[in-house]
Structure 1
Amino acid sequence: MSNPDAIIIGSGVIGAATAFEMAKAGWKTLSLDRNAQVGHGSTAGSCAIIRMHYSTFDGTAFAWEGYHYWRDWAAYLGLPDGANLAQFRETGCLVMKTEANGHLEKHMQYSAELGCPFEEWTGEEVLERLPIYSLDSFAPAKRMDDPEFGKPNGARMGGAVYWPNGGYVTDPALSAQNLMEAARLHGAQVRTGAEVVEILQSEGRVRGVRLASGEEIQAAVVINVAGPGSSIINRMAGVLEDMTIETRPLRQEVVHVPSPEGFDFEAQGTIVSDSDIACYVRPEHSNHILIGSEDPECDPHQWCEDDLHYDRDFTDQWTTQAMRYGQRVPTLGIPSKMRGVVDLYDASTDWIPIYDKSSLPGFYMACGTSGNQYKNAPIAGKMMAALVEYCEGGADHDAAPLQFTLPYVGRSIDVGFYSRRRPINEESSFSVLG
């Protein structure tokens, strides 16, 4: 495909969803990815958690909308019977009430307004579901070299909120491949092993890309969905100057440890977000527990210059996260061999993504999405397709932002919420929680 209508840079879960939605809308799309396979960038390292709780109304509405596509995954994709599909495990999502999250008052208010089911649980109800837990409080979170690490502060956890529709996708890379296969049914094309090195421009407008091979591909629309490489692509396009929100690659470690003996966390566990110990967890295959960090102040952020050169080995952050969760689960065994994932997030200034046009006509971006937007990929793709149609149809999205209706939820959201030029959102958690 030498002359597509639109080039999409990146074939992770959001890039693939954008290709699917644009192809369904009649666009002739070409997806380009530096990796050898679709979904093998940061998507492959995603924890792939599907949750509904956010600290902003727009974030909650978007996530509740997104859930419905994972619930109806096969119907959404429309692939032939027998296709190998990623699986959504609806385990529920339990969030511990803490001072840090305002005891979830806002989260419950937004869920109630949207008709998203949730339950308030007492501490005793938490222990019924997770008898391996201790409800001692350890806040604020500390690193393991702190002399106060592991010492309860004398308080007890005051219960939790449970969202029964939460869960996780067992194979995130496969989910991106599913989306791209569905896009192909509508005429989309994809090239892997294709590295973009220049954004071509002419007469004040994007006109395509140049690849590392020297090949030029012409297109009137280019969409940057390059994950942790998004800031480099934006720099190539020369669109950074009017952006108040920047994106940067952030190194993250995710821990895998065995479930305590006598408890089947894979079958009986759930997603848990616990800002008291600054960890989130989910079941992992082979009866393991996946442990991620909620980015407390005491943990240094490891920002990277680019998305290729970073330390892929585990550090003492692995042990810190495992030990933090050991505060909540005293019988947790911490193995001597470190297992898990080291990968990058594409994190924005306020951890809320950019879904927007740019100062260069025809150049669009879906950036800053890592860590908390995997769950929103299908609806983000649908919204990006609508945004491109809106702007290419002559509308000024900066002056009159697109008002986009969420099909399942039936609410209209102001896409300007995700603007590259927005003020930093002070309602954000400024962490992976978004």
Structure 2
Amino acid sequence: MAESTDVVVVGAGVIGCSIALELARSGLRVVVVDKFGGAGNGSTSASSAVVRFTYPTIAGVNAAWESRHCWEAWRHHLQAPAGEPLAAFNRCGVTLLDVDFAPCSLFTRHFDKAGVPYEKWNAQELSERLPAVDAGRYFPPRPVDDDEFFADASARLGALHTPDGGFVDDPQLAARNLAAAAQRHGAAFRWKTEVTAVMRRGGRVRGVRLEEGTELSAGVVVNAAGPWSGRLNRLAEVGGDFTVGLRPLRQEVHHVAAPAGYHDAAGDGHAPVLADMDLGTYIRPEGREFLLVGGTEPECDPLEWLDDPDDGSPHPTVSQFRTQVTRAARRLPGLRIPNKPRGVAGVYDVTDDWTPVYDRTELAGFYVAIGTSGNQFKNAPLVGRLMTTLIQGVEGGHDHDRSALAHTCEHTGQTIDLGAFSRRRRPAASTGTVLG
């Protein structure tokens, strides 16, 4: 059976749903195809959904700062009806401990250009503002079985605090909100089906074939398949001119009870998100009583790269739970370490420089929004607009490879050079971690 549409988006995570919404808003007929049974059921569901601005590139900072304005006015962004349940942005702030290999100055020079408010705290101010936090310097991160792990602090740390950061409370609901908005603009969704072929003719994409045999004819196909994106690229026979590689990486986020009184010093009811690259963790509030603890890929930890993203177990392991939560307890002395692991695991789609690829490909009409590297949930509201700018420009005849397109942000007025996310870029400035 053959059907036709203007655009096929493969992947209904928060990125794919945002792209579907913005393309549908532009007047195009959009069909979204996803292997799962609903929006945000893949990697999105395991996201910690932190909204921060600490990227080592101006494009990354501008994207995150613009997206924060979208999250803050989420109902307006979606044009959602009054009764629709929505994901909520919690503006609790983000505090980044100042470490030598990713010093505060790496970010503040971009903050000054982008207009991101921030505060620089010395060690005394950090202890006064966050009394539950041990301000000791323990760098470099070590395995928790290392004899030096519990060595005394070598110094005390300051921090960079961005009061406008925070987190989104329900990442899967955020994806569903975007999907519902896209449907209001006419987008259709095909659940529990996979793409088995990318159709092409004369050097241009012509659509996709689904596993039940349906052929969806389309002049534009967008790969937003997350950790499954490499598989789709191979079907399309693209990627030969990419200068950055992509690999699936399994990661865990753990759920623990917050220390007694941890949030009491916060005026809005939540202590800030704490980014601790000194010990190799991040800590995010989860309501008033719990915390999420994730890792920042310290060099001492082996990374769980996958050949097939379907092989990634969704269940937390004892070893990773013990490692990450013990590190968190070193930073929060009042934190108790449970005997049984609790949390989630997901799979990142990681590029060599931990920076996404939002670009066209050598196959005309085939676009990619991939390599999100565990750090692009926050930018999802903007990514749909970036990809719409890209697709409209390239389909209109612009040579993006020769002269990169730019996107002007609605809320901040900043301009983002889309060449920063090119498949053919030189590796971007990066911390080599999920921080970007």
Structure 1 length as normaliser, TM-score? 0.97
Give the equivalent residue in structure 2 for 1:132. Answer: 132
Q: Higher mean Cα deviation, 400-409 or 276-285?
A: 400-409
Q: Does 1:114 align with 2:114?
A: yes
- In structure 1, how many angstroms separate the alpha carbons of the residues matched to 2:262 and 2:433? 30
What is the Cα deviation at residue 155 of structure 1?
Answer: 1.4
Unaligned runs of 5+ in 2: none
Q: Percent same amino acid at aligned positions?
A: 41
CA contact (8 A) 2:318 2:341 kept: no
Give the equivalent residue in structure 2 for 1:93. Answer: 94
Q: C-alpha offsets along residues 228-250 of structure 1, whole Å, 9 cap, x if unaligned?
A: 10111111111121111122110
Q: Out of 413, 422, 430, which is 1:428 matched to?
A: 430
Q: C-alpha offsets along residues 329-367 of structure 1, whole Å, 9 cap, x if unaligned?
A: 112100011111111011111000000000000000000
Give the equivalent residue in structure 1 for 2:62. Answer: 61
Secondary structure of the 2:131 match is: coil
Give the equivalent residue in structure 2 for 1:42. Answer: 43
- In structure 1, how many angstroms separate the alpha carbons of the residues matched to 2:334 and 2:416? 45
- In structure 2, how many angstroms separate the alpha carbons of the residues matched to 1:151 and 1:82? 54
Give the equivalent residue in structure 1 for 2:5. Answer: 4
Give the equivalent residue in structure 2 for 1:283. Answer: 285
Q: Higher mean Cα deviation, 323-332 or 40-49?
A: 323-332
Give the equivalent residue in structure 2 for 1:82. Answer: 83
CA contact (8 A) 1:246 1:348 kept: yes
Size of the aligned set, in residue pairs, is 431
What is the Cα deviation at residue 309 of structure 1?
Answer: 1.2
Q: Higher mean Cα deviation, 105-114 or 80-89?
A: 105-114
Give the equivalent residue in structure 2 for 1:192. Answer: 191
Give the equivalent residue in structure 2 for 1:30. Answer: 31
CA contact (8 A) 1:150 1:324 kept: no
Secondary structure of the 1:2 match is: strand
Give the equivalent residue in structure 2 for 1:178. Answer: 177
Alignment of 1:333-344 (within 5 A): 333-344=336-347
CA contact (8 A) 2:38 2:191 kept: yes
Secondary structure of the 1:75 match is: helix
- In structure 2, how many angstroms separate the alpha carbons of the residues matched to 1:169 and 1:413? 24
The one-letter amino acid of 1:123's match is: A
Alignment of 1:218-297 (within 5 A): 218-264=217-263, 267-285=269-287, 287-297=289-299
Q: Out of 398, 416, 433, which is 1:413 matched to?
A: 416
Task: Assess, with a 3 A threshold, how the Cα gap between structure 1 residues 411 and 261 changes in structure 2: closer, same or farther.
Answer: closer
Q: Out of 313, 322, 325, which is 1:322 matched to?
A: 325
- In structure 1, how many angstroms separate the alpha carbons of the residues matched to 2:224 and 2:9? 7
What is the Cα deviation at residue 286 of structure 1?
Answer: 5.7
The one-letter amino acid of 2:351's match is: S
The one-letter amino acid of 2:86's match is: L
Structure 2 length as normaliser, TM-score? 0.96
Unaligned runs of 5+ in 1: none
- In structure 2, how many angstroms separate the alpha carbons of the residues matched to 1:190 and 1:197? 17
Question: What is the RMSD computed on CA atoms of the aligned residues?
Answer: 1.4
Q: Higher mean Cα deviation, 105-114 or 307-316?
A: 307-316
CA contact (8 A) 2:95 2:274 kept: yes
The one-letter amino acid of 1:181's match is: A
- In structure 2, how many angstroms separate the alpha carbons of the residues matched to 1:418 and 1:254? 27
What is the Cα deviation at residue 298 of structure 1?
Answer: 0.7
CA contact (8 A) 1:245 1:350 kept: yes
Secondary structure of the 1:249 match is: strand
The one-letter amino acid of 2:365's match is: G
Q: Higher mean Cα deviation, 259-268 or 328-337?
A: 259-268
Q: Higher mean Cα deviation, 16-25 or 107-116?
A: 107-116
Give the equivalent residue in structure 2 for 1:380. Answer: 383
Q: C-alpha offsets along residues 187-210 of structure 1, whole Å, 9 cap, x if unaligned?
A: 111111111111111121111111
Secondary structure of the 1:323 match is: helix
CA contact (8 A) 1:100 1:275 kept: no
Q: Higher mean Cα deviation, 258-267 or 172-181?
A: 258-267
